[in-house]
Amino acid sequence: MASLNTLLGPLLALLVASLAAASASNLHNDFDITWGDGRAKILNNGELLTLNLDRASGSGFQSRNEYLFGKIDMQLKLVPGNSAGTVTAYYLSSKGSAWDEIDFEFLGNLSGDPYILHTNVFSQGKGNREQQFYLWFDPTADFHTYSILWNPQRIVFSVDGTPIREFKNLESMGVPFPKNQPMRIYSSLWNADDWATRGGLVKADWTQAPFTASYRNFSAEACVLSNGASSCGTNTSPPASSAAANAWFSEELDSTRQERLKWVQKNYMVYNYCRDTNRFPQGLPPECNMS
């Protein structure tokens, strides 16, 4: 008589496979292409999204959902080769003149020179909180995961699970923090050769066009806003019954990730607004005085 394990083994394998297929991201369901006249495409039955840029136009997309707090992951593969003058922007943003925004921007460069990963946080229409980094790998050779954790206590930017920047909620010190406005995800690939590479000294080489950035494996553990109501409930906090599934809502950096953050900032940060005393002659912003 066949053992129970022998009988159940294939069934369990089938169940695991079907769950994996069900959880695979279908970008058709999550995003709308918003501009580019056909230069943006969702391919492979929703598994891959590509943005293209040529001399005439770039392209872009946005999420169908609005979020008020969440943990957002997306894998990107950036424009390869001579990407000078191009910017691949991937960010969360609300609407209006006093908007909130959480930015990843990838500034292209000449072949062989590293991309600059530009980050910023806007609250109530004001940013000026730029930090820039080199990456410890070639972001054009393969896909890498770029993540934003946004909860009521902090915003954490991560790359392949390694935190590169933390922006804490310091409203008690008078620092505005994005917490009231729902945001959509946006991404675009566009020509910024008037400033993106060496302050605009290096222009885009249009003989290399079209330039292409690729996206896959999107996931969002988040509070989704619909008709003014949050999927997390009226107080925009996940119900206690699902605390384990919504651990991101109170997530903070443990000691290991704090060490990784310090490693990145010591070895790969190339600009930090908190060290730019020329820019803030009246004194650095208050959050810069926190350790």
**Residues labelled as active-site residues:** 101, 105
Q: Are 148 and 72 in contact (CB under 8 A)?
A: yes
Cβ–Cβ under 8 Å, residues 42 and 28 = yes
Alpha-carbon span 282 to 291, nearest angstrom: 20
| Residue 182, preceding peptide bond in cis (omega within 30° of 0) | no
- Whether 159 contacts 135, CB under 8 Å: yes
Q: In DSSP terms, which residues pair with 156 in a beta bridge?
A: 149, 166
Q: Which two tokens stand for residue 76?
A: 């990107």
Q: Which residue, chain included where needed, has tokens 């566009």?
A: 190
Q: How far is CA 276 from CA 133, 281, 282, in A?
A: 15, 9, 12
* CA pair distance 27, 218, nearest whole angstrom: 7
